[in-house]
Chains A and B, each alone.
Chain A
Amino acid sequence: MVPIAYYLVLAAILFSIGAASFLIKRNIVTIFMSIELMLNAVNLTFVAFAHMWHQVQGQIFVFFVMVVAAAEAAVGLAIIIAIFRTRQTLNVDQINLMKN
């Protein structure tokens, strides 16, 4: 028997690692990957709560999150390719046309 709180704490750990790497990483592809990590952590909490209430609605939420994440990854990586084509860099500190 594992307390559900342990699963939720694991999800909190993964979410905060994802948030930290979102802020710290300078490569745009890695930043995008840390967003995926945060989405996965939230999915884990959805599944844990679905198990707790013996309902499938939480699992259906996760299903929709997966669909949206797939769509987001496709569009986001296309944007990254477009940025790389115009700016020749993946470093977010050098992508600052909108600054000032």
Chain B
Amino acid sequence: MQLALFLIFGLLAVAAALNLLLQRHPINSALSLVVVMMSLAVLYWSLGAEFLAAAQVIVYSGAIMVLFVFVIMLLNAGEEEKTTGSKAAYIAGFPGAAAIFCLLSFVFLSERKALGNVGIHDYLTDVVPNLTRISTELFTRLLLPFEVTSVLILVAILGAVVLARKEQ
């Protein structure tokens, strides 16, 4: 059952990511990125990270992608045109990405035995302990980094407002 879940949503994520690569209009790429993020949320859930699955849907596909779609609409971005610069990118891009993929999957598949399996039964029954453990860790041992991220968000908001403001 979990293998079916993994296959369906993994293939959906890969197909949507390829669609992001192949579409020429930015709005189509943005919507396929939403599909990738929603399927990753399901995969997080199957790995026993319920909190992160919810946060992925709310933060990534909710907030960040709405921001992207908003900017695409605001700037009225049209289809991208091919230029002479993209020739070199094609030559460097596909072999480089293929090399990264081959190296990573070779390492992962050769260590397959040592990495072990994912069982669905031992995690999905205890949703509350997962949340409890994350929040205990976050609010006791990692309290200072957690508070520093709020300062980071504040600085980012100020920077965004200053950058996007109209010049006087």
Interface of B toward A, CB cutoff 8 Å: 2-3, 6, 10, 13-14, 17-18, 20-21, 26, 29-30, 33, 36-37, 40, 43-44, 46-49, 51-52, 55-56, 59-60, 63-64, 67-68, 71-72, 74-75, 77, 80-86, 89-90, 92-94, 96-98, 100-101, 104-105, 108-109, 111-112, 115-119, 123, 130, 133-134, 137-138, 142, 145, 149, 152-153, 155-157, 159-164, 166-167
Q: Pick the most buried of B55, B84, B123: most chain A CB atoms within 10 A of its CB.
A: B55
**Other 11 A-B pairs with CB < 8 A, given A4-B118, A19-B93:** A10-B14, A19-B96, A25-B21, A30-B26, A36-B33, A52-B115, A59-B49, A71-B155, A75-B160, A78-B164, A81-B163
How many chain A residues sit at the interface, stated as a range, is 35 or more
Chain B minimum-CB-distance residue to A50: B49
Binary interface encoding of chain A residues 6-29 relative to chain B, with 1 for a CB under 8 A from any of its CBs, else 0: 111110111111111101111101
B97/A63 in contact, CB under 8 A: no
Chain A residues whose C-beta falls within 8 Å of the C-beta of B161 in the assembled complex: 78
Interchain CA distance A92-B36 in the complex, whole Å: 25
Q: Across the interface, which residues of B come within 8 angstroms of A33, CB to CB?
A: 20, 26, 29-30, 33, 68
11 residue pairs bridging A and B, Cβ less than 8 Å apart: A2-B46, A2-B118, A8-B108, A24-B89, A30-B20, A33-B29, A33-B33, A34-B21, A51-B47, A51-B48, A75-B159
Write out the residue numbers on chain B whose beta carbons fall within 8 Å of the beta carbon of A56: 130, 133-134, 137
User: Which of B111, B166, B167 is close to A5, meaning CB atoms less than 8 Å apart?
Assistant: B111
Complexed CA–CA distance, A68 and B151 (Å): 11
> Are the C-beta atoms of B52 and A62 separated by less than 8 Å?
yes
Shortest 5 CB-CB distances between A and B: which pairs? A23-B93, A71-B156, A20-B97, A12-B104, A78-B163
Does A26 lie within 8 Å of B85, measured CB to CB? yes
A24 CB to closest chain B CB (Å) equals 5
Contacts of B51 in A (CB 8 A): 59
**Number of inter-chain CB pairs below 8 Å:** 244
Taking A4-B117, A59-B52, A66-B56 as contacts, is the C-beta distance between A29 and B77 under 8 angstroms?
A: yes
A73-B67, A75-B160 known; A44-B117 Cβ under 8 A: no
A16, B97: Cβ atoms under 8 Å? Answer: yes
> Which B residues are CB-close (under 8 A) to A43?
40, 52, 56
Q: Is the CB of A21 within 8 A of B20?
A: yes
Residue from A3, A5, A67, A91 within 8 A of B83 (CB atoms): A91
Could you tell me the distance between the alpha carbons of A60 and B119 in the complex, rounded to whole angstroms? 21
